[in-house]
Amino acid sequence: MSRSPLVEEVAQRPSRGPVSRTPVPTHSARSAIATATDLAARFAEGAAQRDRERILPAAEIEALSASGLLAITVPVADGGAGLGAEVLAEVVRLIATGDPNIAQVPHSHFVYVNALVEQGTPSQREFLLGEVLAGKRFGNAQSEIRSGHVRDHATTLRAAGDGSGEWVLDGEKGYATGALFAHWIPVLAHLGEGGPLHVAWVGRHDHGVSVIDDWDGLGQRTTASGTVRLEGVRVAAERVTAYHLTFERPQTYGAFAQLLHAAIDAGIARAAIREAAGFVTTRSRPYPDALAVYDVERAAEDPLVVQAFGEVEVQVRAAEALVAVAGRAVDRARAEVTADSAAEASLAVAAARAATTTASLEASSRLFEVAGTRSALAGLGLDRHWRNARTHTLHDPAAWKVHHLGRHAIDGTPPPNHGQI
């Protein structure tokens, strides 16, 4: 597997600590969406080549950071713009139309900004959100990979035992999207053997932190969703944030995270339609029957092709609308979190997740049906849309989203109160 020059397989350097902070641009909702639109167009230009050659988007991620978009959800009270979930979902969707790999890289960044807002101490918020406002990026180290059982080989924080008050972190995490590009890696770990989950904030280059670029997915190839190994990593007490407390009350944490996944899938679907339309209008030849029956001059005039585009367009527009509806539901619930408002936000996001899963897979598959045999040439890279959709939609089974919606429709059963809905 080819590697980007960015890749640093094992990082054992001591943390460099905070550097001087240069604030990134502050956005309004309108400027954030305009900036995302511009960046998406830039990112689209090299997306096929990056996918084909597995070129990690280092320069593109830096451009995204410099744009200020990674700081738009920092609350006003913490010095940020405080933009809501609806705006963020649209920003993420737009970026995904250009390159869904780039849109996925900061997914956990936004989620852990939210984790700080939910449970961070005042000093944690001041320092870490200040880092975000200066353009720093959060990664993630959440998923255990050594066993199918959730508690086997669980990553654990144990007391250092030397009177320092520090913790020592050991474990191994997979699917660590964003870690390779991160300045800070939030690590989900048990506080003590089998204890409650906490977030340990470790520097990307802290001693004992290894980020391994071993992601080999069939799609989302350049997200660098590899492995993070943690071997005797020292963590100061002020860099540990409670995680489990978020789910001991009504919350929108899970719905917020799932909303961003839905936005990525909606972006993939829109990109597939856009590229299919470009191909059909410039490179496809009309089918002989269309020539004989309708005397068309271009494949784009074939009534069966037009019908197929219309059918997919309906699906994608519906999915995009449900993402916007879900974003508004999350914003309403965050303004006044109750069991009912949190459940409604989760259900709205579940509908968006189900719809965007179907739309992204359908649009990226029917692309070939409407574009013809030539579209299957490997060098064109049109298959990346389906591979990206198929890979990304595996994050959470859409069938469970539909199941929760069905139970609520039948007897009002609320969805579960956890981080996946």
Asked whether 264 and 193 are in contact (CB, 8 A), the reply is no
Listed residues 243, 269, 303: the one ending a domain? 243
Residue 175 has pLDDT above 80, yes or no: yes
Residue 220's nearest CA partner among 77, 399, 393 is 393
Read off the DSSP letter of residue 393: T
Q: Say how far apart CA 302 and CA 154 lie, in whole Å.
A: 57
Phi, psi (5° rounding) for residue 261? -60, -45
Phi, psi (5° rounding) for residue 182? -85, 160
Q: C-alpha angle 262/331/130, rounded to 5°?
A: 90
Phi-psi region of 137 (alpha: psi -120 to 50; beta: other; left: phi over 0): beta
- Structural tokens at position 242: 């409670």
CATH (domain of 48): 2.40.110.10
Give 288's pLDDT tier (boundaries 50, 70, 90).
Answer: confident
Phi, psi (5° rounding) for residue 291? -65, -45
194 & 300 share domain: no
Q: Say how far apart CA 99 and CA 109 lie, in whole Å.
A: 17
417 within domain boundaries: no
Q: Say how far apart CA 84 and CA 253 lie, in whole Å.
A: 13
Residue 384 has pLDDT above 90, yes or no: yes
What was the pLDDT predicted at 291? 86
Give 22's pLDDT tier (boundaries 50, 70, 90).
Answer: confident
Q: What mean pLDDT comes out for the span 113-136?
A: 97
Strand ranges for 306-408 from DSSP E: none
Q: Say how far apart CA 153 and CA 172 lie, in whole Å.
A: 8
Residues paired with residue 190 on neighbouring β-strands, in sequence order: 156, 197
For 384, the domain range is 249-411
230-281 pLDDT tens trace = 999 999 999 999 999 999 999 999 999 999 999 999 999 999 999 999 999 9
257 & 360 share domain: yes
- CA 400: distance to chain centroid? 19
Q: Say how far apart CA 303 and CA 308 lie, in whole Å.
A: 9
Q: Where are the alpha helices (DSSP H) in 283-302?
A: 288-294
349 & 219 share domain: no
For residue 269, which amino acid is it? Answer: A
CATH (domain of 363): 1.20.140.10
Q: Say how far apart CA 3 and CA 216 lie, in whole Å.
A: 11
154 & 175 share domain: yes
- CA 263: distance to chain centroid? 8
Q: Which residue has the tokens 């963590």?
A: 235
Q: Say how far apart CA 13 and CA 135 lie, in whole Å.
A: 22
Asked whether 264 and 96 are in contact (CB, 8 A), the reply is yes
Give 4's pLDDT tier (boundaries 50, 70, 90).
Answer: very low
Listed residues 198, 226, 243: the one ending a domain? 243
For residue 213, which amino acid is it? Answer: D
79 & 221 share domain: yes
55-94 pLDDT tens trace = 999 999 999 999 999 999 999 999 999 999 999 999 999 9
Q: Say how far apart CA 258 and CA 349 lie, in whole Å.
A: 7
Read off the DSSP letter of residue 252: S
200 & 314 share domain: no
Give 6's pLDDT tier (boundaries 50, 70, 90).
Answer: very low
Residues paired with residue 191 on neighbouring β-strands, in sequence order: 157
Q: Say how far apart CA 285 and CA 25 lie, in whole Å.
A: 47
418 within domain boundaries: no
278 & 169 share domain: no
What was the pLDDT predicted at 148? 52
For residue 89, which amino acid is it? Answer: A
Domain count, the chain: 2
Give 287's pLDDT tier (boundaries 50, 70, 90).
Answer: confident
Through-space distance between the first and last CA atoms of the chain, rounded to whole angstroms: 35
- Structural tokens at position 300: 């784009």
322-347 pLDDT tens trace = 999 999 999 999 999 999 999 999 99
Q: Which residue has the tokens 């080999």?
A: 216
137 & 199 share domain: yes
148-170 pLDDT tens trace = 554 455 899 999 999 999 999 99
Give 308's pLDDT tier (boundaries 50, 70, 90).
Answer: very high
- The contacts of residue 321 (CB under 8 Å, 6+ apart) are none
